[in-house]
Structure 1
Amino acid sequence: MRVLAWSILMLAISSLPAKAQTYDPRVPVCMKVYDGSDDGGGEWIDCSYTSLPQCRASASGRAAMCVINPYFVEAPLPARSQHRRHRHAY
């Protein structure tokens, strides 16, 4: 009975539509643009901004809003040198 329940569950999950990630993880700020045209409209996400002020300047006067990219991955900081000075006892 458990095998049948798991099989049905897995079949149901696999038949759900998948949604692709719409945010570019290389950029910290994205602009959501809303298209209110008569043909159904829609929205898209433009992840090409390095700061909120830059994005807001581009969004000004448009049906758009700027958001912090939830998938942004910061580049790791360079490793600090492990070289230390040692005091010598004389």
Structure 2
Amino acid sequence: MYSMKEQLRLFWQQRNGKTAAAFLKQLISIGAMMLRHWSGLLNYYPHRITNGPLEGLNNKIKTIKRQAYGFRDMEYFKLRLYDMHASTYPFAG
């Protein structure tokens, strides 16, 4: 809510009515998107799980797929995916 309040504060800093209308249209589209995903957003609370780990895994698979461009053997690609789970990476920082 604080972020939305601050965004609405930016409305009054628009230079003219045309940019102000475009700004409000953007805010309305964000609100409409949140209404469309209402139940999905609220499903987090009873279950306390997200799809973040799954999205991370999908991103790793896509990265390996991009690196494997040109491999002719699908079995090698599968082995790379299995190896991805066996590999450990050091923490940065």
Q: TM-score range by the shorter chain?
A: under 0.3
Bigger Rg, structure 1 or 2: 1
Structure of greater relative contact order (alpha carbons < 8 Å, 6+ residues apart): 1
Q: More helix by proportion, 1 or 2?
A: 2
TM-score, normalised with respect to structure 1: 0.23
